[in-house]
Amino acid sequence: MTRASWNGLSARKGVPPIVMVTAYDYPTARAAVRGGADVVLVGDSAAMVVLGRADTSTFPLEAAVLFTEAVARGAGTTPVVADLTAGSYEGSDAEAVRASQRLAEAGADAVKLEGAGPMCDRVRAVVASGVPVVGHLGLLPQTASATGGYVARARTADEALRLVADAEALVAAGIAMLVLEAVPSDVAAAVTKRVAVPVIGIGAGAACDGQVLVWHDLLGFGDARAARFVRRYAMLLETAADGIARFAGDVRSGAYPQVEHTYGMPAAERAAFLERLVPGEER
């Protein structure tokens, strides 16, 4: 069921910019909301940052449904967008509607799909079924590995004009929001100016109506080298590894656990226990 907060957000263009952050489970959603995100994206980037896969070309819809349930619980009233996973929506309108309904039942206020062309029909079908759709153009992670890799797109006039036309076609099909990934700022600015829906950029410059980053990238919670467009706001992997190293040191030195970390038992019960314990079974 679409929440009122999503309708307000999808109609919001311009100032103040919309802040979108990915999340994959309850605590990452809680952190995103407490940090003031306007919208949380259950990105299929989970395939890479959570599951450690090479790309997002394989990520089961079942996993996206599970992650969406957890994120929706953590996000409270903050709108949640969930990625339709590669292979779950491209084949037919019926397939796209079925996958979208599953994500919506799991708590998504909208679903996101990649590409234009035939995907415009999928957008129309999913919107007609009652689930708002977010488009995604520019670098399309689900097919990036097979189409030239993780490099910026629309850097020639022809490609840039095609991207503008694709954006307009998706808007005409009914998308409520558009994500633009890794495209020149001038191209993103032109799209943002021309379309009526909010445009959220990731590596698309400052003229967009909002910005999105992947949780693990912006918080430094991964081993991978960050893309050019990422700014890191924390180094959580180091913080976590440091905490675990101190725990390991304490366990090995005997400094942990201490009495205050343990449970006792009433003196009489302890005495009875020790008395009845079969000799030789205690450690």
Please give the residue ranges that form the binding site for ligand KIV (CB under 6 A).
22, 41, 43-45, 83, 179, 181, 202, 212, 214
What does the alpha-carbon distance between residue 215 and residue 190 come to, in Å, rounded to a whole number?
27
How many C-beta atoms lie closer than 10 Å to residue 67's C-beta? 26
User: Does residue 181 have an active-site annotation?
Assistant: yes
Of residues 99 and 179, the one with the C-beta less far from ligand KIV? 179
The active-site residue out of 62, 105, 181, 282 is 181
Alpha carbon 55 to chain centroid, angstroms: 14
Q: Which two tokens stand for residue 39?
A: 């919208």
Of residues 233 and 247, the one with the C-beta less far from ligand KIV? 233
Long-range contacts for 220-228 (Cβ within 8 Å, ≥24 apart)?
Answer: 221/49, 222/49, 224/48, 227/150, 227/182, 227/203, 228/203
Task: For the CB of residue 222, give the shortest distance to ligand KIV in the complex, in Å.
Answer: 12
Amino acid at 212: V
C-alpha count within 13 angstroms, C-beta hemisphere, residue 191: 39
Task: For the CB of residue 113, give the shortest distance to ligand KIV in the complex, in Å.
Answer: 10
Q: Specify whether the CB–CB gap between 89 and 42 falls below 8 A.
A: no
Q: Annotated catalytic sites, by residue?
A: 181
